[in-house]
Structure 1
Amino acid sequence: MGYRVAVVGATGNVGREVLNILAERKFPADEVFALASSRSIGKELSYGDKVLKAKDLQHFDFSTVDFAIMSAGGSISKEWGPKIAAAGAIVIDNSSYWRYHSDVPLVVPEVNGDILDRWLADPKRTNIIANPNCSTAQLVVALKPLHDAAKITRVVVSTYQSVSGAGKEGVDELWNQTKGIFVNDSPTPGKFPKQIAFNVIPHIDVFMEDGYTKEEWKVLAETKKMLDPKIKVTCTAVRVPVFVGHSEAVNLEFANPISADEARDILREAPGVSVIDKREAGGYATPVESVGEYDTFVSRIREDTTVENGLVLWVVSDNLRKGAALNTVQIAETLIEKGYKARALAA
């Protein structure tokens, strides 16, 4: 018996990508439902060679589905996550709302998918699983195999995040400002606090009392929760005029010696990682090459001679895929591999 999947927020950038990935990966679904707010009822959405019509979230019966993949924002997740979970469906949530709850697992399957064995066996489980922040997801995929090999003690990361991470409004703003500049229109900031076209902005999400932004704090908190609470993490998050694909410059310190060659060999064997690392012009990955790809790309692997046992990496990934939609689908796939069965529908 196949599974039944509801995609909440199906008309957004990530929701549409979830539908694409479910079809691409031939997820064992007997039925997929596209759910959205009342203003989007009837909107047509592609699912493989099928067309789905958006249904109203408010009136959907979640007792009829096995998985609810949510990409509709924190307020919707806060309100609807517990309701959907209480109806018996497993909620895989892409917002930030549930990530830091102690009783909700935060999962990247290649990194800590093993915790789902215990979670499935727990009769008191919340039925909610959180998806990490897009920039954290690609980071920990690259760090996990290196941490296992030599024990990371400190991470310094600068992110270069595309405008699609801010949703359709962010993409539209970059597009409109870029066009406007060529006809001498003054770019007017809206979604972003400053001009994004031909510019970079060292500010994502709100500022906190310590001077870090919440986006930077997310990378710290989520890396510790998924990888190791003892790792020291600091981050600078920057918005860049790229439509899709997040990039990261990562400096690592290890407890044990590890060379660039050893790291390169380890990463080549790591799940979800592709190494593109030729020391020549063009011998590295950029956001353009990551678009539409499942893997996280690692390039510019080299030793950091300013610290003992240090490495430097360049990490690139499609933020709409591994940073969001793909990871949620992989979580569902992992649960199925671990024995989660489709529910029998009531007669």
Structure 2
Amino acid sequence: MGYKIVVAGATGNVGREMLNILAEREFPVDEIAALASRRSLGTECSFGDDTLITQDLDTFDFTGWDMALFAIGSEATKKYAPKAAAAGCVVIDNSSLYRYDPQVPLIVPEVNPSAVHDYANKNIIANPNCSTAQMVVALKPLHDRATIKRVVVSTYQSVSGAGKDGMDELWDQTKAIYNPTSEVPPAKFTKQIAFNVIPHIDSFMDSGETKEEWKMVAETKKIVDTRIKVTATCVRVPVFVGHSEAINIEFEDFLDEDEAREILRTAPGILVVDKREDGGYVTPVESAGDYATFISRIRQDSTIENGLNLWCVSDNLRKGAALNAVQIAELLGREVLKKG
């Protein structure tokens, strides 16, 4: 016996990845519904060898469905998630709407799986921000060994994190650079993204941080440990898929780089590729389409007493969004609902 699954936002980048990953991982599905807004009604979506026709999110009845994976943004989630939850369908939400609600668990299954039992507070589980998800997968096993005091992270985030419009803008601007008769001014981003980097993701806050940077701080504390201090600089780069992060970690106890490398090699969800030679590391192009969070460039930081540096890369549409949501669904099914 399997589950009745809903994917809301099935025509978007993340929604399509959710359908792909559910099929790839052979999630025990008895019935599946692809939902979209009325402007996308009737659009075809692939689910393994099957083709789904999108249904109207606005009129869909969630009664009798087990789980709904939401990839529809905060405004639509505010309207439809309580409706689904009230009908007895557990919502796994990819937006930021519920991430900071103390009654809603924020889950990365490799890091805090026991939090899944708190879903019953509101029948909602939150999926973390893409940049946070991959970082905490790397931090948790190291924190368990040597206790992290402080993290300094700089991100290099792909344009797919801004959706299809972001990917289109990079593509169109890149083509325009080689065609002097055309020009594509910034629309999705604040400055030209082709052949450029932009130190600005999401809105600015009074503190001078951007909302993306604040999210990494707040979410790391909620998922891993409230005592960890985090400071982030988030940068948009001209890469289509795959987020990269340079992470500096200060521990309470000394942790040798070789021991750290072995800890990470055996940690769930991680692949270590760390050879001190040309090409002995992973880049975002190589992470695209993969499930893993890749760790490279592990080395001691001699400028502080107990410091370590590492390079972290992952497919943001997968571990940063769709894969993590499906893993939450697997965890919920395995630990709580127990039907599959």
Once residues 333 and 179 of structure 2 are traced to their aligned partners in structure 1, the CA distance between those partners, rounded to angstroms, is: 53
Contact 2:116–2:125 (8 Å) recurs in 1: no
Structure 1: distance between partners of 2:336 and 2:12: 31
* Residue of structure 2 in register with 1:160 after alignment: 156
Residue 179 (1) aligns with residue 175 (2): yes
Partner of 2:39: 39
Match of 2:131 among 111, 129, 135: 135
Correspondence 1:227 to 2:249: no
Unaligned ranges ≥5, structure 2: none
Contact 1:299 / 1:315 at 8 angstroms: preserved in 2? yes
Amino acid aligned to 1:76 = A
Give the conservation status (yes or no) of the 8 Å contact 2:152–2:232.
yes
The reply on whether 1:26 has 2:26 as its aligned counterpart is yes
Q: Which residue of 2 aligns with 1:291?
A: 288
1:310 equivalenced with 2:307 (yes/no): yes
Q: Do 1:157 and 1:248's aligned partners in 2 also have CA atoms closer than 8 Å?
A: yes
SS at match of 2:294: strand
Structure 1 runs (4+) deviating above 6 angstroms are none
Describe the SS at the equivalent of 1:303. strand
1:28-51 per-residue CA deviation (whole Å, 9 max, x = no partner) reads 001111000011111001100000
Contact 2:4 2:29 in 1 (8 A): yes
> Structure 1 residue 186: deviation in Å?
3.1
Q: Does 1:244 align with 2:241?
A: yes
**Is residue 9 from structure 1 mapped to residue 9 from structure 2 by the alignment?**
yes
Task: Say which of 194, 197, 201 aligns to 2:198.
Answer: 201
TM-score, length-scaled by structure 1: 0.96
Q: TM-score, normalised by structure 2?
A: 0.98
| Residues matched between the structures, number | 339
How far apart are residue 2 of structure 1 and its match?
Answer: 1.2
Deviation at 1:339, TM superposition (A): 3.3
1:165 Cα deviation from its structure 2 partner: 0.1
Contact 1:133–1:323 at 8 Å: present in 2 too? yes
What is the alpha-carbon distance in structure 1 between the residues aligned to residue 295 and residue 47 of structure 2?
A: 31
CA distance in 1, matches of 2:58, 2:307: 52
1:337 CA displacement: 1.2
Deviation at 1:93, TM superposition (A): 0.1
For 1:187 and 1:172, the matched residues in 2 are separated by 11
CA deviations 1:150-188 (Å, max 9, x no partner) are: 000000000000000000000000000000101123341
- Map Cα deviations across residues 49-87 of structure 1 (whole Å, 9 max, x no partner): 000000000111101310000000000111111111000
Q: 1:135 aligns to what SS in structure 2?
A: helix
Backbone CA RMSD of aligned residues = 1.0
Q: Separation in 2 of the partners of 1:254 and 1:303?
A: 11
Q: One-letter code of the match for 1:23?
A: A
Letter in 2 for 1:128: I
For residue 342 of structure 1, report the CA deviation from its aligned partner. Answer: 4.9
Deviations 1:120-150 (A, max 9, x none): 6x5xx20000000000000000000000000
Equivalents in 1 of 2:278, 2:19: separation in Å?
A: 37
Question: Shift of residue 102 of structure 1?
Answer: 0.5
2:96: which partner in 1?
96
Residue 140 of structure 2 corresponds to which residue in structure 1? Answer: 144
How far apart are the structure 1 equivalents of 2:241 and 2:4? 30
- What is the aligned partner in structure 1 of residue 53 from structure 2? 53
Quote the sequence identity (%).
Answer: 65
CA distance in structure 1 between the partners assigned to 2:147 and 2:76 by the alignment:
38
Q: Does 1:110 align with 2:97?
A: no
